[in-house]
């Protein structure tokens, strides 16, 4: 009888322990996330750069079983080089090259369905941040090349959605989020070297450890 009861106890522990461990890990209030992917310039941003890359990391607060989480993040985005050239019968050939990048810090809120046991969870994300944008430009005419760069700091907004795949101790996610920077690119039509609003769309794959 004692041997039988002991066997039952061991089987119970083997069944229950993973569930308890999983719940404890999933309920961790703090987690770290890393993400990498592509970034597509939108609208006026496309005049200064082509599709590029982005990567970054963040810290999330709030257990995954709750509908609301907060994420603070730091990300770097660099767009591909944009080239343009034209010819004039009298003045010759002109060419221009430009590349734009930014470093941003964001505070975001994530809202997801309250389904603690779900392994696949869609979510919405949005927030605000500060973006430091830099543009490098090169202009060539008549065999002479002029290079320069300029940068601008500005606030911005972001919003999008993602899908989170929950495992024991970590999660992976796919996320698309539109960023609008209030002063994201130089205003070519301005006489006082001002900057204007512009946006871009990063699509990333990432992992979250903890939470």
Write out pLDDT tens, residues 126-135: 999 999 999 9
Tell me the average pLDDT of the chain.
81
* CATH architecture assigned to 28-210: Beta Barrel (2.40)
Confidence category of residue 148, pLDDT binned at 50, 70, 90: confident
Q: Grade residue 28 by pLDDT with cuts at 50, 70 and 90.
A: low
pLDDT at 21: 39
Strands (E), the chain: 30-42, 49-61, 68-88, 92-111, 120-141, 144-166, 170-186, 195-210
d(CA 57, CA 113): 24
In degrees, rounded to 5, the angle at the alpha carbon of residue 82 between the alpha carbons of residues 150 and 192 is: 35
Average pLDDT over residues 127-147: 82
Interval 81-97: pLDDT, tens = 887 666 665 655 666 77
Question: Longest Cα pair distance anywhere in the chain, in angstroms?
Answer: 105
In the predicted model, what is the mean pLDDT of residues 137-141?
Answer: 73
The phi-psi region of residue 92 (left if phi > 0; otherwise alpha if psi is between -120 and 50; otherwise beta) is left
Residue 13 clears pLDDT 60, i.e. is over it = no
pLDDT of residue 211: 64
Evaluate if residue 15 carries a pLDDT over 60: no
Cα–Cα distance for residue pair 40/45, rounded to 1 Å:
9
Domain segments of the chain as ranges:
28-210
Give the mean pLDDT of 180-187: 93
* Span 138-151, average pLDDT: 74
């Amino acid at each position: 009888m004692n041997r039988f009861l002991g066997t039952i106890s061991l089987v119970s522990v083997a069944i229950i322990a993973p569930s308890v461990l999983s719940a404890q890990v999933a309920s961790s209030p703090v987690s770290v996330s890393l993400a990498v992917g592509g970034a597509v310039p939108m609208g006026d941003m496309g005049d200064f750069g082509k599709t590029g890359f982005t990567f970054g990391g963040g810290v999330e607060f709030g257990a995954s079983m709750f509908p609301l989480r907060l994420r603070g993040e730091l990300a770097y985005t660099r767009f591909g080089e944009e080239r343009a050239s034209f010819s004039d019968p009298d003045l010759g050939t002109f060419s221009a090259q430009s590349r734009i990048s930014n470093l941003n810090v964001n505070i975001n809120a994530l809202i997801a369905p309250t389904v603690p046991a779900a392994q696949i969870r869609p979510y919405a994300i949005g927030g605000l941040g500060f973006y430091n944008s830099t543009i490098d430009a090169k202009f060539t005419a008549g065999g002479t090349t002029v290079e320069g760069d300029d940068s601008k700091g500005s606030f911005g907004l972001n919003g999008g959605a993602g899908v989170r795949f929950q495992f024991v101790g970590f999660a992976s996610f796919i996320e698309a989020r539109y960023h609008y920077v209030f002063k994201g690119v130089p205003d070519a039509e301005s006489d006082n070297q001002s900057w204007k609003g512009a946006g871009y769309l990063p699509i990333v794959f990432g992992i979250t450890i903890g939470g």
